[in-house]
Amino acid sequence: MTVAFTLALGIAASVAFGLIPVLRSLTFATGLRDPGRGPTATRRQQRTRHALMAAQVALALALLVGAALMVQSYDRLRAVDLGFTPGSALTLRVGLPRQDYPTRAAAVTAHRAILERLEREAGVETVSASTGLPLADACFGNAIVIKGQAFPDGARTPVARLCAVSEGHVKAMGMRLVGGRDLERADVDSRRPNVLVNEAFVTAVLGGVDPIGRQIRSSAPPPQGVSFADGNAEWEGAPPWLTVVGVVANTPFENLTERTPVAVVYMPFSIPGGPDIPNVALLGPSISAKTYVVRSTVSPAALTSAVQRSVRAVDGSLAIAQIVTLQGVVDGGAAQMALTMALLVIAAAVALASGVIGIYGVIAYVVSQRRGEIGVRLALGASPDTVVLMIVKQGASVVLAGVAAGLALAAAGSGWLRALLFGVDPHNPAIFAGVGVLLAAVAFVACWLPARSAARVSPTEALRAD
């Protein structure tokens, strides 16, 4: 959608600017066919020239406004509070073949071995493993049940994402622990049902109450005949109750432009799903594939060979993919907007250059056609400043008309950019005013330069040239 919109805008601008010399040549040909050089033909040519100048200014202004909005939006996007620190961390995805690791217990053992190998690498501060990272969704989503809390009939059951992580995930990701504590190794190795939740979970699922100690679980339909107690069904094999022991800051889930934070639960990776546990159990995400985060005191890129060696030391047949710095993951989340911004900036720069050159060329041509008139005015005592003012006023009236049309065009078109913008009003008055003043000033200079040259011409030379 983004690329299509930008390409369409660029093609429209290219066609419009490409038609300008064609229309000029048609106008010139019409002038050649017209008998004589009467005032009617002159007015027609002037109107055509003025319309083309105004159209160039209008298109340039509309593209400049769009580019300015995207630049400001990109700046706001880069300033988003990520909820974690991306610097000095490398990420990689490791998949465990089902035939070699057929059970959850086997998968847990393999991931533990990989974590311990990575921790021993030189320069590594901390390591964690997770079924999903911010901006790289691979987490399990399901409805959530809160122990002791029944929902009225017809009420919408709260939904959250469940990620299976190792101990130290908060430190490895550089996340902010808002309350409570982080998961510990004992939580993972002893399969303690302790979990972390983010601030969005506290707000959206728990209604803002103190979450520490609250018990939640993934919702699953109970078998037939199961009785309910306090609104909660209990049966053998039901998803376990999970106790909230800590709260972390929100992080973007699917993209950086999320308006509403996603509720997330971080559980020990020893208690959710695995190859031998059917999906209908709804325990959480499968741990057959996990993403590792390696935070180090050295350049993350320098660790690539070391982390690959560590993983293959555990099992040389394991698939390793998506080796990228955590900062690279963040940059990828902003890539689409960056591309749109770059295309619009390029189109706006081309439009501005074409508009200024076109205005200068038209004014210079008009001045050359009026050299005799200018010579007469100078010979009769008109000052050079008066001549400059006359020419600039005529050009400025056309430019101002183009600016007005461009502002209207930008106001109508900026609404289409609304879905692409982040934290920016598509009708931002400061941007509209700033771009309008900038373009008017540049166009004024393009009018003033040929006017100044004309005012310096000797009256005698001007009359002889005519």
pLDDT at 36 over 50: no
pLDDT at 450 over 90: no
Q: For residues 128 and 173, give the distance between their C-alpha atoms in angstroms, rounded to a whole number.
A: 8
CB 327 within 8 A of CB 84: no
CB-CB neighbours of 152 under 10 Å: 6
**Which of 377, 369, 275 lies closest to 45, judged by CA?**
369
**pLDDT attached to residue 108:** 94
- Give the pLDDT band of residue 89 (cuts 50, 70, 90): very high
User: What would the mean pLDDT of 187-198 be, rounded to a whole number?
Assistant: 94
CB-CB neighbours of 78 under 10 Å: 14
Element (H, E) at 45: helix 39-78
Instruction: Return mean pLDDT, the chain.
Output: 81
User: What would the mean pLDDT of 5-21 be, rounded to a whole number?
Assistant: 51
pLDDT at 17 over 60: no
- Give the pLDDT band of residue 452 (cuts 50, 70, 90): confident
**pLDDT attached to residue 16:** 54
- Give the pLDDT band of residue 375 (cuts 50, 70, 90): low
More confident position, 396 or 67: 67
**pLDDT attached to residue 117:** 95
**pLDDT attached to residue 40:** 41
User: What would the mean pLDDT of 218-237 be, rounded to a whole number?
Assistant: 68
pLDDT at 414 over 50: yes
CA distances for 192 relative to 163, 195, 220, 401, angstroms:
15, 9, 20, 72
More confident position, 112 or 223: 112
By the 10 Å C-beta count (0-12 exposed, 13-18 middle, 19+ buried), 345 is classed as middle
CB 292 within 8 A of CB 94: yes
User: What would the mean pLDDT of 288-295 be, rounded to a whole number?
Assistant: 94
Of 85-99, 134-148, 306-320, the least confident: 134-148
Q: Dihedral sign, CA of 190, 194, 195, 196?
A: negative
Residues 6+ apart with CB under 8 A from 184: 167
pLDDT at 381 over 90: no
**Geometric angle at alpha carbon 177, from 212 and 311, rounded to 5°:** 110
**Which of 465, 443, 439 lies closest to 454, judged by CA?**
465
- Give the pLDDT band of residue 41 (cuts 50, 70, 90): very low
User: What would the mean pLDDT of 335-347 be, rounded to a whole number?
Assistant: 81
**pLDDT attached to residue 306:** 92
pLDDT at 463 over 90: no
**pLDDT attached to residue 281:** 74
pLDDT at 1 over 50: no
Q: For residues 170 and 197, give the distance between their C-alpha atoms in angstroms, rounded to a whole number.
A: 11
**pLDDT attached to residue 137:** 63
Of 156-165, 204-213, 391-400, the least confident: 391-400
**pLDDT attached to residue 440:** 86
What percentage of the chain reaches a pLDDT higher than 90?
A: 34
User: What would the mean pLDDT of 211-228 be, rounded to a whole number?
Assistant: 79
User: What would the mean pLDDT of 438-457 be, rounded to a whole number?
Assistant: 79
Which DSSP state fits 166? -
- Give the pLDDT band of residue 455 (cuts 50, 70, 90): low
pLDDT at 197 over 60: yes
**Geometric angle at alpha carbon 21, from 16 and 24, rounded to 5°:** 115
- Give the pLDDT band of residue 230 (cuts 50, 70, 90): low
**pLDDT attached to residue 210:** 92
**pLDDT attached to residue 30:** 45
Q: For residues 303 and 59, give the distance between their C-alpha atoms in angstroms, rounded to a whole number.
A: 50
Helix axes 384-414, 429-455, angle to 10 degrees: 150
